[in-house]
Amino acid sequence: MEVGELSEPETIAPNSVQRGLRGTGIWSGALRFSDPSVIADAAAELEELGYSCLWIPDMGGDVFGAVRHLLESTRTLTVATGVLNVWVHSPDETAAAYHRIQADYGDRFLVGIGVGHAARINSLMPGRYKGPVGAMNNFLDGLDHAAVPLPRGGRVLAALGPKMLETAARRAAGVHPYNVTPEHTAQARAVLGPDALVLPEQGVVLTTDPEVGRGVGRTYLQGYLTLPNYVNNMRRMGFGR
């Protein structure tokens, strides 16, 4: 199905976590894997500076414990997974953890969900990565049929291509696309409609020197250019080899 042929997505009423996501958030691996006391201090400072959400990756280990640590270290901001990997976690585990965290900290936890990258998943679990869109839908089915379901309003998807964007429009509160262009953000908004969450990760280089910025950006992107998901998406956006 072409993007332009999608029917208008169903609107869901915003919950407090969605209303609290206005503004700018921070995605950082350091907020997941640094010294716990450093993480706590950094999270509190970022909240004082006015950031609305802290995003952390899922690279193994206790991601839900890491979410709890950030929530304990702050007062009101949202903490989100960017993103929880469907090959590593089960739907039942995820739904149960979501509701335990909600019970303890209120409506401050957003579950970003993604399929990751074949090379990385298969290096850990050979042959596991198959049919990513189908795997995502199976995972969402599991969340919907868990003992206490994880609601659509509490989840966003790491969606790059048209099929995953369509899935997000039907089955999530929105999207958290990583390593994308402003044009991709506009495309996601067109697919999901005006009320969905569109929460793109945008890299920022803190310099006023264009040459320094381009150098840092090229170095940063080198690793991502070995991953087909990102390369294919960049080609869809009009980039060449």
- Do both 216 and 195 map to the same domain? no
Report residue 36 as tokens.
Answer: 């716990």
* pLDDT at site 187: 95
- Do both 53 and 105 map to the same domain? yes
- Do both 114 and 217 map to the same domain? no
* pLDDT at site 20: 63
* pLDDT at site 128: 86
Provide the domain limits for residue 230.
205-241
DSSP states of 110-170: EEEEE---HHHHHHHSTT----HHHHHHHHHHHHHTSSSPPPGGGEEE---SHHHHHHHHH
* pLDDT at site 14: 57
- Do both 111 and 64 map to the same domain? yes
* pLDDT at site 133: 97
* pLDDT at site 59: 78
- Do both 138 and 148 map to the same domain? yes
- Do both 81 and 153 map to the same domain? yes
- Do both 121 and 221 map to the same domain? no
Neighbour count for residue 31 (Cβ, 10 Å):
23
- Do both 157 and 232 map to the same domain? no
- Do both 123 and 215 map to the same domain? no
Mean pLDDT by 10 residues, the chain (241 residues): 37 58 91 97 97 92 97 97 96 98 97 91 86 97 98 97 97 96 95 95 92 95 91 89 62
* pLDDT at site 73: 98
* pLDDT at site 19: 57
Helix (H) or strand (E) holding 220: helix 210-224
- Do both 215 and 137 map to the same domain? no
